[in-house]
Amino acid sequence: MTYLDPPGGHHGRPAVPSAEATAALARCVSVEPAKFAAAHWGHTPLLSRAAELPDPAGFTDLLSPADADELLSRRGLRTPFLRVAKDGQLVAASRWTGGGGAGAEIGDQVLDERVLEQYASGATLVLQGLHRIWPPLVDFARDLGLALNQPLQINAYLTPAGSQGFATHYDTHDVFVLQVDGRKHWRIHPPVLPDPLEKQPWGGRADEVGATAQGPAALDVVLAPGDALYLPRGWLHSAQAQDASSLHLTVGIRALTRYALVEELLALSAEDQRLRASLPFGTDVADPDAIEPELTETVEALRDWLLRADPGAVAARLRQRAWPAARPAPIRPLAQADALATLDADSRVALRPGLRWQLVPHDSDTVALRLFDRTITLPASCEPAARALLTGTVTRVGDLPGLPDDADRVTLTRRLLREAVLVPA
């Protein structure tokens, strides 16, 4: 369930998607990945009917209405894992949360009887962050994220019959809508601001959004169970449940943009002394004529610096931003501890699914294994064995190359198990 470094590579860059990743994307789009990337990704919506998808049975294996009831009643949810919306507005959490009772002295647990009150009166329930708390969606999010090479999040929307949770709006991230249960009427309109950034939410353009929503829809469709819809960021949408309640999943794709490159380039430009220089004494920054010569010189200095920008430095900063946004597969701490205690040369291990990594020289005596949340330093002599484990070319501890004996092989493997880089195979 992961991508592997190209042989001899050092960048942890996805190469060939796993079968699980490919299957996850195929559940969301009815066209080949290459066509989706060329014709739809970031450009135009795509409606995929259940009959066109590989599993016309739908998405109840990911989250069913019964599963949603389980989450709302027996899992001790707290804010912000639930939001409640009615008539286009969020309902204050104090109206559906409270104390958890004896042994759970907290004040923001979801109260099932209060949730019933809200839902029965027409409110939409939004279960948030399900890619972190519901096992089938934890796995699905990891596989789909690997297929897209992007971090993502998954929410569920439960809407009573005839109700609409939110007014027409746009999202600042791409989404897949997966209709699980019931039917929902979607109206899609073109963007008022193509490719909005997260700092450009629709609320700042509410009048434009409202006016555009009054015009003809680019797509006016009812989603039935098993249907999927892809919407690029910025496309206006509203959705209303039909004659029965509706449950759908929304997969939000938090893709990095070219503006992210601009932000990192500007951050790195602080290394240039010309760009750190103070403005002349007494400059009136409110006077366009006063700042014009300084602006000209600054633009020239910035252009000169950009021509010398180091792609490696930019990539390092983007890695620090992107990798922590997509967690690898969960590990089982107790099973992992048992594996540590019984590890020997005949044990078999594997890379933690979904883990991104870089193995690079550190100095003459060590190599650095970069992970999403930390960097591990290993002796340089361990590099061949570590790479064999990371790429999956070796799974049996006693077969690791480059180390003199099984004791050293077990020591390296135990270190990587303890660091949650590897898991028992």
Identify the CATH number of the domain in which residue 355 sits: 3.90.930.40
pTM over 0.75: yes
| Average pLDDT across the chain, whole number | 93
At 268, give phi and psi (nearest 5°).
Answer: -70, -25
Task: Give the pLDDT confidence of 305-323 residue by residue, as tens digits.
Answer: 999 999 999 999 999 999 9
Verify that 288 and 346 share a domain, yes or no.
no
Query: Is the distance from CB of 63 to CB of 156 less than 8 angstroms?
Result: yes
Lowest mean pLDDT among 133-142, 169-178, 198-207: 198-207
Tell me whether strands 184-189 and 219-223 are parallel, antiparallel or unpaired. Answer: antiparallel
Domain that includes residue 396, residue range: 333-424
pLDDT for residue 1: 29
CB atoms within 10 A of CB 333: 9
For 101, 183, 246, 358, the CA distances from 162, given in Å and listed in that order, are: 35, 10, 9, 51
Query: Is the distance from CB of 237 to CB of 187 less than 8 angstroms?
Result: yes
| Number of domains comprising the chain | 3
pLDDT of 12 higher than 60: no
pLDDT for residue 16: 56
Among residues 287, 322, 357, which one ends one of the domains? 322
CB atoms within 10 A of CB 194: 12
Give domain status of residue 12, yes or no: no
What is the DSSP track for 138-175?
HHHHHHHHHHHTS-EEEEEEEE-TT--SS-SB--SSEE
Q: Is 190 exposed, middle or buried (0-12, 13-18, 19+ CB in 10 A)?
A: middle
Cis peptide before 80 (omega within 30 of 0): yes
Q: How far apart are CA 215 and CA 111, in angstroms?
A: 41
Query: Is the distance from CB of 155 to CB of 188 less than 8 angstroms?
Result: no
Q: Which CATH number goes with the domain that contains 142?
A: 2.60.120.650
Q: How confident is the model at residue 351 (pLDDT cuts 50, 70, 90)?
A: very high
Verify that 131 and 112 share a domain, yes or no.
yes
Q: How confident is the model at residue 167 (pLDDT cuts 50, 70, 90)?
A: confident
Q: At what angle do helices 406-418 and 333-342 cross, to 10 degrees?
A: 170
| Residue 36, C-beta contacts closer than 8 angstroms, at least 6 positions apart | 25, 29, 46, 230
